[in-house]
Each structure stands twice: as C-alpha cells, then as structure tokens.
Amino acid sequence: MLLWYLVQVLSIPLAQSFPFIGKCHGSLLFILIGVASVLKMLMSMTISTGLFLIQNRVVDQHQRGEANGIAMTSMSLFTAVGPAAAGAVLSWSQKRIDASFLPGMMLNYFVCKGFYVTYFRWKSSM
C-alpha cells in the first residue's frame, strides 16, 4: 500500500511537467514524451490496482460482488463522461488565452490540481 501512496504523490509532479516538456525540441522532446507517457501509464495502472485492492479489503466477503459491480459501473460511467468533460474544459481554456487570471492551458492544470487535491482529502479521511 505504501507504493500506492507514493505513486499517487509522484503522479502530480509528472502531470505538471508536461507543459515544460512541450518546450523542448527535436529528439529530446520525443524521448521525454515517451518516458513521461510510459511513467503515466504505469502510475495509472498502479493506482487502479491499489484502488481495487483497497475496495476488496474493506468490503465483506458476501458483499464483494455487489461492491465490484458498483465500482465497475461507476468506472464505466466516468470513462464515458471524462472525455466530454475534458473537452469542455479544453475549449473553455482556449477561449481564455489572453485572460489575466489563469490564461489558456493554465486553467486546465488548475482544474486537474483541484481534482487531485479533492481526491487526496477524501482519501485521507478513509
């Protein structure tokens, strides 16, 4: 479980590093994007596996099927809604390119940080 917490904490700086990676050029850009994408994928799989392990530890044996069904249903729902919500935030941020507060893509990173902070507060109350 310690690995799960560590990966969650390390995923925040990784997500915040993508705008700076985009400022590189040539083969360095290609290498950094490849490494960051592989790390992001590995961290995502580790976090998902950790969540399923925690869920199965918390729920009693006779309720595991119901809990797994609810978890899979909610995961499918958020997988369907997530791209639409991300597209809405992206188009909103593209309209705010010259804004004085959170211009352009900084709005996207602010929203992502908000979700991370909200999740970490929820996780610490478990």
What average pLDDT does the segment 24-43 reach? 91
For residue range 39-85, list pLDDT tens digits in order.
988 888 888 788 778 877 888 888 888 888 888 898 889 889 888 98
pLDDT-derived band at 38, boundaries 50, 70, 90: very high
Q: What is the DSSP letter of 22?
A: T
Domain ranges of the chain: 1-58
Residue 111: which residues within 8 A CB-CB, separation 6 or more?
89
C-alpha 123/C-alpha 45 separation (Å) is 18
**104 three-class SS:** coil
pLDDT at position 119 is 65
Whether residue 92 has pLDDT greater than 70: yes
